């Protein structure tokens, strides 16, 4: 049953679909997959091409529009947009510490979550396309970040469902192992730290002071989490967005207050940190993060907590050594570490489940290089030259490997260019796809 709502400039319609948990067993357990249709007000009955939006993540629900804002302003000029809550997120059958507890022990939970990667998301999308449009009608896809990874999987396993593909900050390495990904990522994060400290040199001493305080005794966070040195360093995930460095600086400048016993970390700071570090709203991001790189042909031994292992190769992230030497303490980036399942209450019950997923060695390959090399679907992609999250070299290699893919390489935007550019990024990609740029 579909439900329609009106918001400024748009009409939205709710859709809920039954989809197999395992698409290889279509008669088996079913889950719900939710999607929100968005169309410009006054064009509800127009025959518009569909644009499926695949959200970044993994484990992130689609945005909740309040009107014609952001990239939707441009998209709704010519498309009927479908915002998909990827399986396990938002209003699709949720996968959290609360719901997964009903499935049994860690082994049962891990086996269940093995069906929540890009290949299953794409097969959900194909099921939805056939039910909404019919077998003979193609649609367009817009993939942001991890959604771009999903778009490449779509082109690998079901290209006949696609008319055009738009990818923003999401050209993954087709044959990059998890270790490859993180060995390339840590140096990029170092550069983002250098940029931040060059912009805000006063933060060097503030961060060192906070680190020393946490090294002496971790701080309790308002939601029950624990702020350790490593958790504090993980705030560096913020540095990958266009406004992230400034936001981190503003968080740090309110770190201290004078308490009854002397300087202490302020409630304002700890509440801000809690908001940035908690995975309560999106636990799948942490649980499934490394599995998005798992492919048996490139990771035959599993991902095995790659970010944690590879970090040991980059001693500049050793906070203790930095304190001793007087060097700046470096933040980390978009890495998930096993200790997060000890410090975050939303993740603690999923620790063993995450360990089992990290040890899994039978992940199917997500990309078909031969099929991509013979691709016939028009594909355009924005590659952000200074992207902290997705390696530019990987992106350009993939661009060359996908037949007909046209890449726009820009340093005007960071990884969140689609969201913050007011439709400019999407407008450029549409123009490229239509031969106008």
pLDDT tens readout for residues 80-138:
999 999 999 999 999 999 999 999 999 999 999 999 999 999 999 999 999 999 999 99
pLDDT in the model for residue 2: 66
291 vs 3, higher pLDDT: 291
Q: Strand pairing of 3-7 and 10-20?
A: antiparallel
On the 0-12 / 13-18 / 19+ scale of CB atoms within 10 A, 267 is exposed
**Region 380-392 average pLDDT:** 95
Residue 101 per-residue DSSP state: G
pLDDT in the model for residue 253: 97
Q: Which two tokens stand for residue 356?
A: 């089992």
Pairwise CA distance, residues 424 & 239, whole Å: 22
Pairwise CA distance, residues 80 & 133, whole Å: 12
pLDDT tens readout for residues 181-226:
999 999 999 999 999 999 999 999 999 999 999 999 999 999 999 9
Question: What's the full length of the chain, in residues?
Answer: 437
> What interhelical angle do 244-252 and 203-216 show, nearest 10?
60
pLDDT at 281 > cutoff 70? yes
pLDDT in the model for residue 390: 95
Q: Please give the sequence-ordered ranges of beta strands (E in DSSP) within 106-146, or none if there are none.
A: 139-144
Contact 51, 140 (CB under 8 A): yes
pLDDT in the model for residue 245: 96
Contact 148, 167 (CB under 8 A): yes
Q: Please give the sequence-ordered ranges of beta strands (E in DSSP) within 209-281, or none if there are none.
A: 219-220, 226-227, 256-259, 262-265
pLDDT in the model for residue 24: 95
145, 156, 291, 306: the active-site residue: 145
The phi and psi torsions of 57 (rounded to 5 degrees) equal 160, -130
Concerning whether 135 is annotated as a catalytic residue, the answer is no
3-class SS of residue 40: strand
Contact 385, 392 (CB under 8 A): yes
Cβ-based neighbour number of residue 197 at 10 Å: 18
Question: Residue 261 — very low, low, confident or very high, per pLDDT cuts 50/70/90?
Answer: confident
Concerning whether 249 is annotated as a catalytic residue, the answer is no
Residues 291, 297, 300, 306: is their CA dihedral positive or negative? negative
Residues 283, 287, 293, 296: is their CA dihedral positive or negative? negative
pLDDT tens readout for residues 391-420:
999 999 999 999 999 999 999 999 999 999
Concerning whether 415 is annotated as a catalytic residue, the answer is yes
pLDDT in the model for residue 114: 97
Contact 312, 262 (CB under 8 A): no
Give the CA dihedral 205, 209, 210, 214, nearest 10 degrees: 150
pTM summary value: 0.96
pLDDT in the model for residue 3: 77
47, 135, 136, 362: the active-site residue: 362
pLDDT in the model for residue 4: 84
415, 416, 421, 427: the active-site residue: 415
382, containing H or E segment: strand 379-384
Pairwise CA distance, residues 82 & 407, whole Å: 24
Mean pLDDT over the full length of the chain = 96
On the 0-12 / 13-18 / 19+ scale of CB atoms within 10 A, 241 is buried
Question: Distance of alpha carbon 279 from its chain centroid, rounded?
Answer: 13
Question: Residue 259 — very low, low, confident or very high, per pLDDT cuts 50/70/90?
Answer: confident
Contact 334, 240 (CB under 8 A): yes
Contact 405, 375 (CB under 8 A): yes
Question: Residue 28 — very low, low, confident or very high, per pLDDT cuts 50/70/90?
Answer: very high
Of 29-38, 196-205, 260-269, least confident by mean pLDDT is 260-269
Q: What angle do CA 359, 218, 346 make, to 5 degrees?
A: 45
pLDDT at 328 > cutoff 90? yes
- End-to-end Cα distance, the chain: 41
Instruction: Determine what percent of the chain is predicted with pLDDT higher than 90.
Output: 96
């Amino acid at each position: 049953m579909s439900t329609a709502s009106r918001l400024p400039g748009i009409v939205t319609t709710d859709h809920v679909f039954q989809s197999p948990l395992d698409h290889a067993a279509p008669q088996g357990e079913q889950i719900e997959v939710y999607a929100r249709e968005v169309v410009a007000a006054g064009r509800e009955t127009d025959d518009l091409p569909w644009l499926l939006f695949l959200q970044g993540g993994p484990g992130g629900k689609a945005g909740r529009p309040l009107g014609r804002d952001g990239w939707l302003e441009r998209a709704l000029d010519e498309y009927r947009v479908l915002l998909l809550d990827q399986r396990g997120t938002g209003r699709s059958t949720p996968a959290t510490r609360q719901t997964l507890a009903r499935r049994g022990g860690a082994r049962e939970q891990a086996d269940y979550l093995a069906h929540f990667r890009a290949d299953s998301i794409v097969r959900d999308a194909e099921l939805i396309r056939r039910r909404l449009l019919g077998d003979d009608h193609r649609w367009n896809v817009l993939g942001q970040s991890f959604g771009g990874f999903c778009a490449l999987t779509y082109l690998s396993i079901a290209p006949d469902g696609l008319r055009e593909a738009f990818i923003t900050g999401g050209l993954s390495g087709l044959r990059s192992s998890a270790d490859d990904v993180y060995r390339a990522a840590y140096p990029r994060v170092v550069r983002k730290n250098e940029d931040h400290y060059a912009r805000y040199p006063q933060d060097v001493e503030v961060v060192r002071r906070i680190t020393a305080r946490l090294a002496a005794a971790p701080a309790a966070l308002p939601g029950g989490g624990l702020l350790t040195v490593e958790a504090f360093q993980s705030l560096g995930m913020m540095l990958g967005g266009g406004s992230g460095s400034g936001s981190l600086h503003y968080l740090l400048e309110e770190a201290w207050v004078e308490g009854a016993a002397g300087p202490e970390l302020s409630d304002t700071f700890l509440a801000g940190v809690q908001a940035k570090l908690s995975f309560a709203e999106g636990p799948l991001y942490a649980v499934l993060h490394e599995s998005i790189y798992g492919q048996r042909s490139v990771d035959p031994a599993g991902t095995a907590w790659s970010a944690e292992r590879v970090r040991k190769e980059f001693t500049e992230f050793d906070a203790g050594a930095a304190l001793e030497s007087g060097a700046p303490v470096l933040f980390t980036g978009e890495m998930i570490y096993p200790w997060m399942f000890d410090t975050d209450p939303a993740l603690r019950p999923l620790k063993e489940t995450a360990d089992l997923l990290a040890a899994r060695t039978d992940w199917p390959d997500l990309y078909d290089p031969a099929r991509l090399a013979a691709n016939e679907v028009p594909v355009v992609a924005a590659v952000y030259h200074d992207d902290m999250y997705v390696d530019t070299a990987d992106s350009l290699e993939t661009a060359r490997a996908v037949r007909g893919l046209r890449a726009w390489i820009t340093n005007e935007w960071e990884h969140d260019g689609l969201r913050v550019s007011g439709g400019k990024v999407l407008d450029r990609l549409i123009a490229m796809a239509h031969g106008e740029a």
